[in-house]
Structure 1
Amino acid sequence: MSTRPHPIASPLHAPAGASADKDGIVVGAGPVTVDVYVDFLCPFCKMFEQASGPTLDRLVGEGAISLVYHPMGFLDGLSTTRYSSRASASSGCASDGGRFMEYTYALFANQPPEGGPGLTDDELAEIGAMAGLTEPAFGAGVRNGIYLDWTAHVTDTAVERGVSGTPTVLVEGIAVPASPQTIVTAVAAAVR
């Protein structure tokens, strides 16, 4: 009897900009990989994005890091409509439209409270329009849940890797506290 874990099935299709193993969206092309595991319903992720987002943007802009966002459906149980998975799937549609980061910021800026229904698919599409995603394909993709299987893959892969909460930040595969200072220090150490 084998004790090896079963491999996680890849999604049928992944968004534009997906990582090689299809479990995140890659932003930037720097030599140091920073993985960020978030849930769009998580208030701590919103605080992390507000505190660390500008630093991550700067590091990407300087060509120092490849930032890999892993938008999880981790907190579906804290919503009556699986909001976490639907928001993650909609971020895949935003990546197809070339506006993943802008949409990520907009989702956190419009974060609903835990315990309720979350935003509707129509509201997720409207947030996309605010982030510059005005093509009909974006709204259709959100409403049709075209990346729900991708979200399940992102979430399952993260859990298999030991991610047990959000936000989780890894620099070159090593967990670091989710703060701008520790991320900058870890990135600098990885370059040496």
Structure 2
Amino acid sequence: MSKGKDRSAQAKRIVAEQKARERRRTVTLWTSVGVVAVLIIAGVIGWAAVANQDKDTANAASPPGTIDDGTAFGRGGGPVTIDIYEDFMCPICNRFEQAAGPTITQLVDAGKVTVRYHPISILDGASSTKYSTRSAGAAAAAAEGGKFYEYHEALFANQPAEGSAGLDDAKLVELGKGVGLTGQAFADAVTNRTYDGWATKVTDTASARGVTGTPTVLVAGTKLASPTAAALSAAVEAAGA
């Protein structure tokens, strides 16, 4: 009788263990399904976001007169190329402009250099209105009106502080009027964000080229370790101008 009880208890334990294993397999299966589902959903959302961003940049309107694969505006016609990647909210860019601007003008006037200005927007997080993108887009609108460099100077002369909202559209339009952009086309391009997508595309291109901060200054393709007026002049002379 005792042996029969033992066999019965053993059988019950075996059945219980089998049921427990089945429950564990079921939990594991549905946990795996849940994880896969979450990953798929995240992937779809991520893909959609990237696809929308790619669509925005792919459809970005390019202002007329751009050079270097549509990423820059040129000044001068000399044999040595200077590339300047700048953000209109970057205070160091402003300091570089104030310190090296006269030297650049002298080099341009002497026919030694071609300057390619790349307005990029890496400091959108430093304002509450994506000012870096908006100002770069406004500069592109100014270029359409033939006043890029004049507007470029005006933006730096009126640079807002990091962490502020940045200049509003009305002020950007007003700065344009101050350099001769009095037509409605410029105002409309600013308020309608006509070239904001272009600014994003230029920023993406700069990143792909290895630009990680502003100002980034290259002379004849070589990055200046220290972007100063003296270093710029020395690099231009070394390049043969």
Structure 1-normalised TM-score? 0.92
Q: Which of 65, 89, 93 is residue 17 of structure 1 equivalent to?
A: 65
Residue ranges of structure 2 left out of the alignment (5+ in a row): 1-53
State the partner residue of 2:13.
none
1:186 aligns with 2:235: yes
Write the mapping of 1:35-184 to structure 2, written as runs, cut at 5 A: 35-176=83-224, 177-184=226-233
Q: Which deviates more from structure 2 when the two are superposed, residues 177-186 or residues 85-94? A: 177-186
| AA aligned opposite 1:147 | Y
Q: Distance in 2 between matches of 1:13 and 1:19?
A: 14
The one-letter amino acid of 2:214's match is: T
Contact 1:90–1:142 (CA under 8 A) maintained in structure 2: yes
Q: Which amino acid aligns with 1:173?
A: G
CA distance in 1, matches of 2:235, 2:95: 20
Which aligned segments of 4 or more residues in structure 1 are displaced greater than 4 angstroms? 8-11
- Give me the whole-angstrom Cα distance separating, in 1, the residues matched to 2:74 and 2:119: 12
The CA distance in 1 between the partners of 2:68 and 2:59, in whole Å, is 12
Question: C-alpha separation between the residues in 1 aligned to 2:179 and 2:131?
Answer: 19
* Preserved contact between residue 11 and residue 153 of structure 1 (Cα < 8 Å): no
Q: Are the equivalent residues in 2 in contact too, given 1:24–1:68 (CA < 8 A)?
A: yes
The alignment of Structure 1 onto Structure 2 pairs a total of residues equal to: 185
C-alpha RMSD of the superposition: 1.4
Shift of 1:16: 2.6
Query: Which residues of structure 1 form unaligned runs of 5+?
Result: 1-7
Give deviations 1:15-74, integer Å, cap 9, x for gaps: 232114011111111111100010000111111110011111111111111100011111
- Mapped to 2, the partners of 1:85 and 1:64 lie a distance apart of 31
C-alpha contact 2:75 2:114 (8 A) present in aligned 1: yes
Q: What is the percentage of aligned positions where both structures have the same residue?
A: 46
TM-score (norm. length: structure 2): 0.74
Opposite residue 142 of structure 1, the aligned amino acid is: V
For residue 231 of structure 2, give the secondary structure of its aligned residue in structure 1: helix
SS in 2 for 1:191: coil
Shift of 1:130: 1.1
Structure label with greater radius of gyration: 2
